[in-house]
C-alpha cells in the first residue's frame, strides 16, 4: 500500500510552505489544506518538568503537559484535533484503540508522511466507541513516548451513564536518574528480555500522589497504562471496587481484585468511597503508585447501588463458524542485528519468522496477513518466549475467545496481554480497509522486531 496522492500533496504543500514562511508555528494556520474549524489545538513541544524534586527533566509534552493534555470526545461524533509539530524531529499521532479511517491512524508512510518540525496536520475522525483511549506518536517511539508524548483520550458515552464522578489516572514510569536526567530508553540486553523499565513511577506525572475521592459517592476511576514497558499488577486494598470496562470496552460488572495492566492497556473501575475519612493505596504488586483519600464526612448514606453496566460498543460480532484461522507466532530470536553502519536495527523478536525493521520501509509491502474485507478471522496467537507481550492491533477491535493459561470470559479489546508461553485465540471481523499495524506495545520489543502489518482489502 502506498501513501495516497492526497497525502503526498498535503506533505508537499507543507514543505514548500516551510521554505516560504519559516518555521513559525502560528503561520501554519493559514495553510489552505486545513479545515476552518477544530475542537482542539494541540502542539507537541519540549518542556521542562519536575519529576525529581529540585531537578528539571527535559520532557516532551502535548498541550504544555507531560503526560499530555486530556482530550474528550463524544461517542458517534467527530473529533477534530489541529496538531502542530513543535519538536525538532518528525512525529505523528496514533489514536490507540480508536476504530478510524487509515488516513487518520498516524503511522508514517502508511497513513501520512512523517510530520516535519513546524508542520500542522488536522486529525479529524468519528469516534464510534465510548471508553478510555489514548494517543501517542508512531515515530521514534522509544524516545518520544519515553519523554512524555502520551495523553488520554476519553470518549464519553452517547447517553448518560450511572456515573457522575470520574478520575483519570495516567500511569507512567520515567527513565530518569536521581537528578531527573534521562537514562537510556532502551538497552539492548533489556530489549531482548522484558523491555527496559523506567525507575520512577508516576500517576498523572506525580510520584505517589494523593487522589481525593468524594465521600459517600461512587467514582469511575479510569486507569491508563501509558508506559513504554511496565506491566502494573494493580490492586486496591481497602476500597470496594468493580470492573466496568477493559481497554475501553464494557464488560459485565465484576468485583475488582487484581489486574495485570500491560503497556497500552486501560481498565475502568467503579470505586465506592466511604462516607468517613479514609486513606487507601493504589498498589502495583508490593509497591504503591498513589493513595486514594476521602477527607470529608458525608451525612448522606453511601450511594448504595453500583451503576448498571455500560452500554456495549458497536463492534461487529465475528462469525466463528465460518472464520478463517491464522497463526501468529511471537518469538525471541537472539541477536540478528545488522551493524549500525548498514543502517540496521537490532532484531531480537519476530512475528511468524520475520523481524520488523522500522528503518526499512519495504516491510510495509510484506504484511503478515491479508484479510478480505467483511470476513471473520480467528488469530491463534502463540507466545514462544519467556516474556509477556501486550499485543495491539490498529484500526479494529478483536474479541478475546480463549487462552491455554486462564479462563476467559470473551470480551472485546484492542490489546491483549499475552503471557509468557501463553497461547490465546482472538477473533475479529475485518471490517476496516487499510494496512494496520499489529505489534507488541512494549516499545523496545516493537522497535527490535515485534511488529507486523495486517492488510484488509
Footprint of Cu ion (CB under 5 A):
389, 440, 442, 445
Cβ-Cβ contacts under 8 Å for 82 (sequence gap 6 or more): 29, 34, 35, 38, 40, 41, 42, 120, 121, 122, 123
> Is 191 or 213 the residue whose CB approaches Cu ion more closely?
191
Considering the complex, state which of residue 222 and residue 445 has its C-beta at the smaller distance from Cu ion: 445
Distance CA 414, CA 225 (A): 14
Residue 354 exposed, middle or buried by CB count within 10 Å (0-12, 13-18, 19+):
middle
Query: Which residue lies nearer to Cu ion by CB, 231 or 432?
Result: 231
What b/e readout covers 277-298, taking b as 16+ CB neighbours within 10 angstroms?
Answer: eeebbbbbeeeebbbbebeeeb
The CB-of-254 to Cu ion minimum distance in angstroms stands at: 27
Q: Phi first, then psi: give them for residue 147, nearest 5 degrees.
A: -90, 0
Q: Which is nearer to Cu ion, 121 or 379 (CB)?
A: 379
Q: C-beta of 399: minimal distance to Cu ion in Å?
A: 21
The pairing of strands 324-332 and 249-255 is unpaired
Smallest separation, CB 439 to Cu ion (Å): 8
**Alpha-carbon distance 133 to 299, whole Å?**
36
Contacts of 19 (CB under 8 A, 6+ apart): none
How distant is the alpha carbon of residue 62 from its chain centre? 15
Nearer to Cu ion, 272 or 392 (CB): 392
163 contacts: CB under 8 Å, gap ≥ 6: 218, 219, 220, 270, 307
Minimum CB distance to Cu ion smaller for 81 or for 381? 381
Residues contacting residue 37 through CB under 8 Å, at least 6 positions apart: 80
Contact 212, 295 (CB under 8 A): yes
102 or 440: CB nearest Cu ion: 440
Minimum CB–partner distance for residue 189 and Cu ion (Å): 15
H or E element: which one contains 20?
A: helix 5-21
- The nearer residue to Cu ion, 61 or 264, going by C-beta atoms, is 264
Report the nearest approach of Cu ion to the CB of residue 171 (Å): 18
- Paired strand residues for 131: 155
The three cell numbers locating residue 275: 462516607
Alpha carbon distance 312, 291 (integer Å): 31
Q: Which residues, in sequence order, are bridge partners of residue 250?
A: 245
Q: Which is nearer to Cu ion, 120 or 229 (CB)?
A: 229
Least gap, CB of 333 to Cu ion (angstroms): 13
**Pairing assessment for the beta strands 278-284 and 232-235 based on DSSP bridges:** antiparallel
Nearer to Cu ion, 109 or 332 (CB): 332
**Strand-pair category, 40-49 with 71-74:** unpaired
Q: How many other C-beta atoms can be found within 10 angstroms of the C-beta atom of residue 236?
A: 20
Shortest separation between residue 345's beta carbon and Cu ion, angstroms: 15
Nearer to Cu ion, 172 or 445 (CB): 445
Q: Which residues contact 46 (CB under 8 A, 6 or more apart)?
A: 58, 59, 60, 61, 86, 87, 88
DSSP state string for 63-131: TTBSSPPPEEEETTSEEEEEEEE-SSS-B--EEET----GGGS--BTTTBPPBPTT-EEEEEEE--S-E
Amino acid at each position: 500500500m502506498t501513501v495516497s496522492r492526497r497525502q503526498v500533496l498535503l506533505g508537499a504543500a507543507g514543505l514548500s510552505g516551510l521554505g516560504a514562511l519559516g518555521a513559525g508555528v502560528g503561520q501554519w494556520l493559514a495553510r489552505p489544506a486545513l479545515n476552518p474549524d477544530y475542537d482542539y489545538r494541540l502542539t507537541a513541544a519540549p518542556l521542562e518538568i519536575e519529576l525529581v524534586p529540585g531537578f528539571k527533566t527535559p520532557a516532551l509534552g502535548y498541550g504544555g503537559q507531560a503526560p499530555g493534555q486530556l482530550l474528550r470526545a463524544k461517542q458517534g461524533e467527530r473529533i477534530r484535533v489541529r496538531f502542530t509539530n513543535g519538536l525538532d524531529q518528525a512525529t505523528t499521532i496514533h489514536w490507540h484503540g480508536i476504530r478510524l479511517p487509515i488516513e487518520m491512524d498516524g503511522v508514517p508512510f502508511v497513513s501520512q508522511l512523517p510530520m516535519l518540525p513546524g508542520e500542522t496536520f488536522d486529525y479529524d475522525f468519528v469516534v464510534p466507541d465510548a471508553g478510555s483511549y489514548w494517543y501517542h506518536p508512531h515515530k521514534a517511539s522509544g524516545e518520544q513516548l519515553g519523554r512524555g508524548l502520551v495523553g488520554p483520550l476519553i470518549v464519553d458515552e452517547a447517553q448518560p451513564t450511572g456515573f457522575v464522578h470520574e478520575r483519570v489516572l495516567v500511569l507512567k514510569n520515567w527513565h530518569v536518574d536521581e537528578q531527573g536526567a534521562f537514562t537510556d530508553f532502551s538497552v539492548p540486553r533489556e530489549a531482548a528480555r522484558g523491555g527496559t523499565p523506567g525507575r520512577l513511577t508516576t500517576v498523572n506525572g506525580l510520584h505517589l500522589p494523593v487522589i481525593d475521592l468524594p465521600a459517600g459517592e461512587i467514582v469511575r476511576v479510569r486507569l491508563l497504562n501509558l508506559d513504554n514497558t511496565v506491566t502494573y499488577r494493580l490492586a486496591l486494598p481497602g476500597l470496594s471496587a468493580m470492573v466496568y470496562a477493559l481497554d475501553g470496552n464494557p464488560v459485565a460488572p465484576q468485583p475488582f481484585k487484581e489486574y495485570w495492566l500491560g503497556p497500552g492497556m486501560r481498565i475502568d473501575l467503579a470505586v465506592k468511597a466511604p462516607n468517613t475519612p479514609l486513606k487507601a493505596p493504589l498498589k502495583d504488586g508490593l509497591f504503591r503508585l498513589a493513595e486514594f483519600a476521602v477527607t470529608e464526612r458525608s451525612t448522606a448514606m453511601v450511594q448504595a447501588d453500583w451503576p448498571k453496566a455500560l452500554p456495549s460498543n458497536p463492534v461487529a460480532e465475528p462469525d466463528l463458524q465460518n472464520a478463517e484461522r491464522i497463526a501468529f507466532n511471537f518469538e525471541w530470536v537472539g541477536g540478528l542485528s545488522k551493524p549500525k553502519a548498514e543502517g540496521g536495527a537490532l532484531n531480537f523478536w519476530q512475528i511468524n519468522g520475520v523481524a520488523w525493521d522500522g528503518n526499512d520501509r519495504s516491510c510495509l509491502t510484506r504484511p503478515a496477513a491479508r484479510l478480505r474485507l467483511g470476513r471473520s478471522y480467528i488469530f491463534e496467537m502463540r507466545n514462544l518466549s519467556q516474556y509477556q507481550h501486550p499485543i495491539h492491533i490498529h484500526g479494529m477491535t478483536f474479541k478475546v475467545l480463549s487462552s491455554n493459561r486462564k479462563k476467559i470470559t470473551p470480551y472485546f479489546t484492542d490489546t491483549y496481554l499475552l503471557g509468557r508461553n501463553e497461547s490465546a485465540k482472538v477473533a475479529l471481523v475485518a471490517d476496516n480497509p487499510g494496512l494496520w499495524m499489529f505489534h507488541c506495545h512494549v516499545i523496545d520489543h516493537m522497535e527490535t522486531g515485534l511488529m507486523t502489518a495486517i492488510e484488509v482489502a
